[in-house]
Amino acid sequence: MNGDGFKERFKDREHLLRLAGLFGVGVLLFMLVQALLIPKGFGVYGHFRAGALDDNRLRAASFAGHETCEVCHSDVVDARKGGKHAGIRCEACHGPLASHAEADDPAAKKPARPEAPLCLVCHAANVAKPEGFPQVEPKSHGEGGSCFTCHRAHQPGAAPEAKP
Amino acid sequence: MSADRRQFLIQSGKFIFLTGAASIAFEHLLAGEPEKAPNYKLTDHWWAMTIDIEKCIGCGNCVRACKEENGVPKEPFLFRTWVERYHVPRGDIEHPEVDSPNGGYDGFKEKYRPGDGSKNFFVPKLCNQCAHSPCVQVCPVGATFESPDGVVLVDSKYCLGCRYCVQACPYGCRYIHPETGTVDKCNLCYHRITKGLTTACCESCPTGARQLADLKDPNDPVHEFLRTHKVQVLKPQMATGSKVYYSGLDGSVR
């Protein structure tokens, strides 16, 4: 019974449909642009691209880590045992050696032996260093000779003729 | 036919009912790969670092190791970590003299006389891995973020190089890499710590002044360290949620 009233009310529905169509196209366009612009994996863990975690992760290291060194050089671990340098990790003095550790023939990629001046990097006197840390005046201590005349790097306190 | 309908419902449901970001998360769930790294669980770690100022001898090993490990340019003023020397004149905590020649890369030449009543010490600095980081908040494209395991990382593929974060960091820990034009900063050697290694700076620190810490690991010695030491973070008034804990930090340190 309302059929005529309904038809009467929506007799100009053409422009409503057109508007709805336009709105639909707008929504689709928005979704398309959004899909194109938002990088893959964005929002998985938060407001960032999840793949960035792996980008930061998947890189080679330069420092092998002392655990790696100790696999082969257990003799040095024994030599340092109980000494003042026992807690220092290998690469602190010997430098980054992942290339040596990962080489097919590590012996062919032997690192250079650290020279005596390296000792002064830590042990040269400086008032800003903590009290109690062993420090020397490079000019007056040891009469200008090499540190290794009196000290052994892996057991600094144990050399027979060690002087303060 | 029924599989097609199911596919259709999944696809349309994803697009209509979920926002763009959530639909991507849903895709990952469907693919069954919430984490790409099988032996490293993001949710099992919460990384931090402890620095014992009373152990730092200013040798610069950390600075050199960091540049080597992370390809930081050798030129001055570009650092992921650096060491500052503080010289606090007698009783004048408000006016410390701070220097950091080449970030401590070449060590520190003796500059002050012992016994002049001053206080002298070294302060190693690095990204504080803030839990509520100002740098993350200002990034307009989500190229820097706090990872679920507590490290502030940079997505260099999406970084615009706009430098907002460089200005926002209250600790001055960011720089623009001259080769890539994108921002770079300490990422706590993310490529190492996710493989069970410690950071390059900790690996090369001769006195153990710096220690990498996993606050979610109940067996990490950090818990004992935090219990037995009075620690402080830098600029606590900024409420950045810094996770680099300094022991023996002087009030003069900025």
Per-residue pLDDT tens digits of chain B, which is 254 residues long: 455 777 766 666 665 555 544 554 445 444 444 444 458 999 999 999 999 999 999 999 999 999 999 999 998 889 999 999 999 999 888 999 999 999 999 999 999 988 889 999 999 999 999 999 999 999 999 999 999 999 999 999 999 999 999 999 999 999 999 999 999 999 999 999 999 999 999 999 999 999 999 999 999 999 999 999 999 999 999 999 999 999 999 999 98
List, in order of start, the domains of chain B with CATH numbers.
2-31 (no CATH), 41-254 (3.30.70.20)
Model confidence pLDDT, tens digit, residues B30-80: 444 444 445 899 999 999 999 999 999 999 999 999 999 999 999 888 999
**A129, A133, A139, best to mutate vs chain B, most B CBs in 10 Å:** A129
> B191 to chain A, minimum CA–CA distance in Å?
4
Q: Which of A43, A48, A92 sits opposite B204 (nearest CB)?
A: A92
**B29, B56, B110, B133, best to mutate vs chain A, most A CBs in 10 Å:** B110
Task: Name B199's Cβ contacts closer than 8 Å, sequence gap at least 6.
Answer: B49, B188, B189, B192, B193, B210, B212
Residue B211 phi/psi, 5° resolution?
A: -135, 125
Question: Closest Cα to residue B192, out of A67, A8, A108?
Answer: A67
Contact A57 B143 (CB under 8 A): no
CA dihedral B40, B82, B170, B239 (to 10 degrees): 50
Residue B167 phi/psi, 5° resolution?
A: -75, -30
Contact A130 B145 (CB under 8 A): no
Q: How far apart are CA A83 and CA A155, in angstroms?
A: 5
Contact A66 B203 (CB under 8 A): yes
Q: ipTM score of the complex?
A: 0.82
Neighboring chain A residues of B45 at a CB cutoff of 8 Å: none
Contact B69 A62 (CB under 8 A): yes
- Nearest residue of chain B to residue A34 (CA atoms): B20
Contact B20 A35 (CB under 8 A): yes
Q: How far apart are CA B158 and CA B57, in angstroms?
A: 39
Q: Indicate the pLDDT class of residue A133, thresholds 50, 70 and 90.
A: very high
Q: Which of A49, A60, A91 sits opposite B155 (nearest CB)?
A: A49
pTM to 2 decimal places: 0.83
Can you give the length of chain A in residues?
A: 164
Q: Which of B34, B110, B146 sits opposite A126 (nearest CB)?
A: B110
Contact B200 A61 (CB under 8 A): yes
